[in-house]
């Protein structure tokens, strides 16, 4: 079972959208290929955050799932996949880890608009 499947199976507070699952599968595919293709990584992240800002994508379940996908309490995900990325990408993934509560408490969590702006400036 892949990391993505584990997260989607463990997520019990709700149900992420099917479209989000496709984006996360694509993101997982890009992150697990070595070397990581930065053009592809940027492209899928822009698509993901554009979707998350859409009417269909802007749900608590989707936001929590993205946060859980990127976050890793043991830092294995970061050490394995993120450590070799340029600092600008590492900064973006750092922001995504504080994304889960953006709908309920935007003053305390990462703003998806800012994350998208950071991505477009890469």
Q: What is the mean pLDDT of the chain?
A: 80
Gap between the Cα atoms of 23 and 28, Å rounded: 9
How much is the average pLDDT of 93-99?
Answer: 78
Q: Domain extents for the chain? A: 16-120
Confidence of residue 37 (pLDDT cuts 50, 70, 90): very high
Q: Do 60 and 83 contact (CB within 8 A), yes or no? A: no
Does pLDDT of 117 surpass 90? yes
Percent of the chain with pLDDT over 90: 33
Taking only the tens place, the pLDDT of each residue in 51-86 is 999 999 988 888 888 887 877 645 566 667 777 889
How much is the average pLDDT of 30-59?
Answer: 93
What's the confidence (pLDDT) of residue 100?
A: 60
Considering only CA atoms, which of 40, 48, 33 is closest in space to residue 96? 48
What's the confidence (pLDDT) of residue 41?
A: 96
Gap between the Cα atoms of 45 and 109, Å rounded: 18
- C-alpha dihedral (100, 110, 52, 92), degrees to nearest 10: -110
């Amino acid at each position: 079972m892949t990391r993505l499947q584990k997260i989607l199976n463990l997520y019990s507070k709700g149900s992420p959208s099917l479209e989000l699952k496709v984006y996360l599968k694509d993101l997982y595919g890009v992150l697990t290929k070595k070397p990581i293709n930065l053009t592809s990584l940027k492209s899928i992240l822009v698509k993901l955050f554009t979707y998350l800002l859409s009417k269909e994508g802007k749900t608590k379940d989707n936001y929590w799932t993205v946060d859980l996908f990127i976050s890793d309490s043991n830092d294995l995900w970061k050490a394995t996949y993120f450590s070799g990325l340029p600092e600008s990408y590492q900064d973006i993934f750092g922001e995504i880890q504080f994304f889960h509560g953006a709908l309920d408490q935007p003053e305390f969590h990462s703003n998806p608009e800012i994350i998208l702006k950071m991505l477009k400036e890469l």
